[in-house]
Structures are given as C-alpha cells and as structure tokens.
C-alpha cells in the first residue's frame, strides 16, 4: 500500500502537473514570510516584509495566472511575519507584525481590520488554538502573549529565557510547544504553561520550525542541522529523521492526508517526503531558497514563496494539466 501511494504520487508530480517548477505570480514588493490556506482551501493568505497581507483565490482553469488576488490589507506599519486562519474558518485571519500589533481581518468585510490588539514588542511568531478561543503571539524579546479572542485582549504572558522561533498548540489544545535556539522543543501544559515533560532534544543546532499533521498523529521539526525530525504527537518520541536538505530547514507543511511532508530551506529545491518512511518522493526545483510552504487542505496543491530572484513571488505546484 505504501509503495503504491508513493508510486502514484511520483507519477502525478512528474507527469500530470502543469509546471514542474510551479506557476509563479508576483504578489508582494518584499520577501513573503508566510502563506496559509483557509479551512476549505477557497483562499490563500500571504504576508510580507512590505507590511501587506493579501488574500487570493485559485482558478485552476487559468492558463497563465491561477492565483488571483482578491484583497490587500495595508493597515500594518511594519513587517508582517506571520498569519493564521481561525481553525475551521474560511473568513477570519490573524496577522502578527513588528509594529507591536495583532490584527484580525474578516474576508467578508473588505480591506479594513475588525480588531487590533496591542502587544508588548515586535511580533515574529503566531499560533491560533484549536478551539479558536486563544491566539498566541511571540515577540523579539521571547515574550509570548495569549489573546482571548472573545474579549480581544491579552490575558496572559510568558517570558522565556531562551530564543523562541515558532510556537504551536497540539490538536487537542492541552499542550503548547515552542521551538528554541538551543535545539530543543519545549512542551508546556496548557493553560497552566508549566513544563509537561523535560525539553525534547530535537536538533544539534537551532530548532527553527514545527508543524502538526492534520490527523493529529505526528509533528515535524526543522533545524539548523539540515534535518527534519518526525515525532509521535502523543508519545512525544522521535520516530525518524529525514536528511534530504543541505541547508537549515526553515519551513514545512503536511499534505491534507498526512502522508507527505514538504520541507524547504535555502537549498534551491523543495523536498516532498513520504511520512511513513522518510523517503524522497519528489523535488521541486527553485531558483533560490524557499521562505514558506503550505499544502492545500484537500488536494495535492502546494503554495510556496522564495527569495532572491523569487522575492515577492508565490508559486503553485500541483495544478493538473
């Protein structure tokens, strides 16, 4: 069954997609830091160093530009590092900016934000709890603020003594995980924010990114050692490492069925890996390093953004011929 899945995926990526390097679109004037699909996959959001957030729809029938911009959000005054859709929502988007605010946007309400929450520093990471009631935002002083989305105010904060790169809740919302500059993953009980277990040694260098699969079975970490770690989400043990990159792994995304993991770095390619074994299924050649990747929530369609010559571009890989 596993080899049948891998074989079919390899054939699809090699022979049935429209462009082997993805179909690009110029979307921003600066580097794109994050791309995220909403719950149904009807819209893609992006944020950039140009302080703009944008929403797009996908028109697969378009020969030249399947990604169509619908809205731009321009109220932030500094770099936007992260965005997240409210879980199970197609409409509500949060953005975290270095202007010390988190803004909430409703895709039905045009280009004006519906809420602005002031925070204590320049925001660089963001997560939305599975039940939709809390947003966590971390700043460049490694302070994480927890925002109650029913009150639209900061209700708790946690100061960390070590560099925090990314933050995420597990699927049940009772654990809160942080990737740190010393190569560990810190696991906290939520909402107490007490350590649940001893920090997990994930990488020999800085641990940059963390991503949970849609089924709640696994999470993956990417590090400065150019490795990807695949972890059991409830046992909190490392199941395997994946080593197809040559540069630090900074972005990753699980496919909708949880069987493929796209990983990206400063390498001039994106790796699509088979989760069950770690084997390489496909490489997407890119002109430069990749800053963000996101699988569509119900099809094998990957959105990604790059740097260098690809700065400001968002590409789609997986549009059928």
Q: What pLDDT score was predicted for residue 115? A: 97
181, 165 contact by CB (below 8 A): yes
Q: What pLDDT score was predicted for residue 62? A: 66
**Distances, alpha carbon 302 to alpha carbons 22, 37, 58, 69, 250, in Å:** 9, 10, 12, 17, 16
Q: What pLDDT score was predicted for residue 273? A: 98
Q: Check residue 6 and report its DSSP letter.
A: H
Q: What pLDDT score was predicted for residue 65? A: 75
Model confidence pTM above 0.85: yes
Residue with tokens 């094998």: 300
Q: What share of the chain is helix, strand, coil (3-state, %, to 5)?
A: 5, 50, 45
Residue with tokens 């947003």: 135
Preceding amide of 191 cis, omega within 30 = yes
Round to whole Å and give the CA distance between 198 and 193: 13
273, 229 contact by CB (below 8 A): no
* Nearest Cα to Cα of residue 52 among 28, 16, 36: 28
Q: Check residue 257 and report its DSSP letter.
A: T
Which residue numbers in the chain have pLDDT < 50? none
Which residues lie closer than 8 Å to 51 by C-beta, 6 or more apart?
74, 76, 77, 78, 79, 80, 97, 99
Residue 254: HSE in the Cβ half-sphere, 13 Å Cα cutoff: 22
Q: What pLDDT score was predicted for residue 154? A: 97
Q: What pLDDT score was predicted for residue 63? A: 66
What tens digit of pLDDT does each residue of 197-254 get? 999 999 999 999 999 999 999 999 999 999 999 999 999 999 999 999 999 999 999 9
């Amino acid at each position: 069954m596993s080899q049948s899945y891998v074989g079919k995926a390899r054939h699809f990526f090699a022979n049935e997609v429209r462009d082997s390097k993805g179909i690009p679109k110029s979307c921003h004037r600066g580097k794109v830091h994050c791309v995220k699909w909403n719950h149904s996959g009807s819209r893609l959001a992006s944020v950039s160093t140009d302080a703009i957030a944008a929403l797009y729809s996908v028109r697969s029938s378009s020969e030249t530009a399947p990604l169509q911009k619908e809205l731009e959000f321009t109220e932030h005054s500094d770099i936007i590092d992260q965005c997240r859709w409210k879980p199970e929502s197609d409409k509500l988007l949060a953005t975290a900016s270095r202007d010390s605010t988190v803004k909430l946007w409703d895709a039905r309400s045009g280009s004006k934000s519906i809420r602005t929450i002031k925070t204590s520093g320049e925001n660089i990471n963001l997560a939305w709890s599975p039940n939709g009631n809390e947003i966590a935002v971390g700043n460049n002083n490694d302070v994480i603020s927890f925002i109650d989305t029913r009150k639209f105010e900061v209700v708790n904060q946690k100061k960390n003594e070590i560099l925090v790169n990314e933050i995420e809740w597990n699927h049940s919302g009772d654990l809160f995980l942080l990737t740190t500059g010393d190569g560990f993953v810190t696991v906290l009980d939520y909402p107490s924010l007490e350590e649940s277990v001893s920090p997990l040694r994930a990488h020999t260098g800085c641990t940059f990114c963390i991503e949970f699969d849609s089924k709640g079975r696994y999470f993956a970490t990417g590090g400065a050692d150019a490795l990807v770690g695949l972890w059991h989400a409830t046992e909190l043990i490392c199941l395997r490492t994946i080593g197809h990159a040559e540069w630090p792994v900074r972005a990753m995304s699980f496919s909708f069925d949880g069987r493929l993991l796209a990983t990206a770095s400063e390498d001039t390619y994106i790796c699509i890996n088979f989760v069950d074994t770690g084997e390489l299924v496909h490489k997407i050649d890119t002109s430069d390093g990749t800053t963000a990747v996101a699988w569509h929530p119900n099809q094998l369609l990957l959105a990604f953004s790059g740097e260098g010559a690809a700065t400001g571009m968002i590409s789609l890989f997986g549009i059928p011929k």
